[in-house]
Chain A
Amino acid sequence: MADPLLSSLKIASSGLQAQSTRMRIVSENIANAQTTGTTPGSDPYQRKMVSFQSELDRVSGAQMVSVDKVNRDDSPFILESDPGNPAANADGYVKMPNVRMLVEMADMREANRSYEANIQVVKQAREIINMTIDLLRS
């Protein structure tokens, strides 16, 4: 069996990886919050959502985490009146992306918090390993 402390480092780094992917998706959403289509009546940018799954690492027997898939949010687009826009339909309405800033900010905070928790686990595992090594020094 693999050393549990080393595998806890591995698990925490898989968590870091997953959370940073989530962060990437959030920043894609925010960056494209105003991205409309180019032809009249066409669909704008569709918000993306990330979902996680736990996967068993067969070498250490640990439950790691990984990004399951990136889904698209099917909620309706926001209609805005802007007749001058090239993407405006016959009535002068433009479909804006279904990205809501508040939701994205909340998601970002949550990703941040989970990332910090994983960092804390890494720090602690390192501390424990150091305590063991210190036994040799006394």
Chain B
Amino acid sequence: MAQSSFSSGKPIWPGGRQSAVALAFDLDGPTGDAMLDGSLLDNLRYFSEGAYGPWRALPRLLDLLAEYDLKATFFVPTWVVQHWTGRCERIRKDGHELAYHGHRHEVFMDLSSQKQREIMATCREVFETRLGVTPVGFRTPSGDWSAETASLLTEFGVRYSSSMRGDDRPYFHRQPDGSLGLVEIPARSDIDDYTALAYFENPDFPAGLDRISDYRLVEKNWRYEFQGYHREGLCWTTIFHPKVVAKPGRLAILEGLFRDIRSHENVWIAHCAEIADWWIAKNKESES
């Protein structure tokens, strides 16, 4: 893993703030493996479970974010943008960032560079024509990316990724020639709502059909995570999905978390793009 210039010490945040929070939501809707393998065509139950995210959960989530004056980053497969353009338009209007997450939540690791470029071109076109935005961020959908992905993303104007799990601070990916590439804003499965709350049968998730967690304990875990990142002055981002965490009763988990974040004054609440740009600027400063 490429080491960032600041990795030996605590990151420095704008205005002397103690830590950074980049709340992030993956608005997958019904995209993903079942759409990719075609089984979703015959599975309306599963489709309706995924569609609940953009259709019903998202507006309530946006209301809650507005109530706490929080801005977030939404990684959205562009198939969802095409089918729920109005819903996604509100994400933009509410001042949140929109970023790449494939077109139908493709598994980039399994695709040739050419195919990856085609998907990125589709995504860019949909974002530009439907919403008038050109994203600068990317979160790899479903699993891993391939060795070429990080550098080919830069061809599309992507400046950061939020895909990796192995750090709790931003760092730079390296280009093939050794120069600095994308900023990475790593997230961790500890704050992926799938690990605590997602449950479905046919297709089964989790694989062993383990139980849905106690919402109160999930909130506690996530608050520990935020507080730990804040105490150490790190950069906290989340892997939340509206169809999972913005179901009616679970919005209360988010509300408890948001209230906790808001009770700390010196937190920099930023879009992932702002974090990446800050990281790039600080690096330039330290080099000159």
Does A associate with B in a complex? no
